[in-house]
Each structure stands twice: as C-alpha cells, then as structure tokens.
Amino acid sequence: MNKKVYIVGIIAASLFMSCGENKEKEGGQKEDHKEQHEDHKEGDSHDHADKENDEEASDKVAFGPKEVDTAAAISTAELIEQFEGKTEMEATFKGEINEVCSKMGCWVNIKNDAGEPFMVRFKDHFTIPTETKTGSMAYLTGTAIQDTVSVDDQRHYLEDGEAPQEEIDAITEPKYTMTFIAEGIRLDK
C-alpha cells in the first residue's frame, strides 16, 4: 500500500511539473528566443522547427484569450453612439488601427470618425505584433469603459507611441474618456 501511494505521488508531481514547463503563451505574447534556444547547440535539429514556428506566428491574425465573432461586429461610430451615457458596455466592433504600441504591441489606438482616436488596451496584457500597420482593420471584442487616464499613464502611452517630448510634456491633467479593454482581436490581413 505504501509503495502505491509513493508511486502515485511521483506520477502526480511529475505531471504537475511538466504542465508548468510546457505552457504556451496566449495571444501574441512575445517569447524570449534566447531562453528557447539556451539548451540547443548550433546545428541542432530543433532550429528548423523553431524557424517554422516563427513563420507561423507572423501569419497569425487572432490574438487574445477570446475568439472574435466578426459577424457580430458593429462599426466604431455605432460603438460610440451605443456607449453614450454608459460607464461600461460589452461589445464587438470593427475599427481602423491608428497607432500600435511600438515597444510591445500591448495596446492600439482606434480611429474615431467623430474626433480623436480612442485607446484599446489588451486584457491580461496579451500583445499583437509591433509591426502591425497603421490603417489596418481590426475586429475587437471586450468591454468599453469610462476611464480616468492619469497624467503618468497618458505620458507613458505617448512614450510607447514614440511621440515627441514636447507632446509628452504638454500632458498636465488626467483625462476622462472611453477606453476599450479587448479580450480578443482579429486583424484583417
């Protein structure tokens, strides 16, 4: 009996440990390729497979933990109209990307036909490729919220967007605006 408990314990421990080591990163989170290749020597047979995986990632069009139902998407103008007077609203919409975080791809600004662009942050910090082009169309699903954006956060986003220093320094007051927290994004390629 003692031997059986011991064996079951070892099996359970090894399964638990192997699950932690092999988790895939969700969304489009960037992986440190140096860590992936530390154990591999030059000319290793894994190099070819890793190159194929990198190519597949660059062709990826959907990011985030939630799949986007493109058929349910409303326009950006409809999103803003339906959100008026609310503090929170779940939605799926289609919009044109105006700007992408140049450092990690952890947020985008969406072009707003009625005025200035609005920010989309990615829930749980998933990312999209930083080379996503301005003007790309995207389908997003998540929650629109009324948000107070602090001076520090506004400046941080401008720094991520590589804005000129004088534009960053001009931010002196918090901003109360609609922000969209996306759980999924699908890029039109």
CATH code, domain with 105: 2.40.50.200
Range of the domain at 143: 63-187
Q: Is residue 164 situated within a structural domain? A: yes
Q: In the beta sheet, which residues pair with residue 92?
A: 141
Candidates 112, 140, 134; CA nearest to 27 is 140
Candidates 79, 61, 65; CA nearest to 26 is 65
Q: Is residue 44 situated within a structural domain? A: no
Is the pTM for the entire model greater than 0.95? Answer: no
Give the model's pLDDT for residue 54. 41
Give the model's pLDDT for residue 131. 93
Which parts of the chain have pLDDT scores under 50?
Answer: 2-57
Give the model's pLDDT for residue 58. 56
Give the model's pLDDT for residue 32. 34
Q: Is residue 154 situated within a structural domain? A: yes
Look at the chain and report how many structural domains it folds into. Answer: 1
Give the model's pLDDT for residue 82. 96
Taking a C-beta distance cutoff of 8 angstroms, is the pair 133, 71 a contact? no
Q: Is residue 23 situated within a structural domain? A: no
Q: What whole-number distance in Å separates Cα of residue 159 and Cα of residue 124? A: 21
Q: Is residue 111 situated within a structural domain? A: yes
Sign of the alpha-carbon torsion through 97, 108, 140, 67:
positive
Give the model's pLDDT for residue 18. 33
Give the model's pLDDT for residue 26. 36
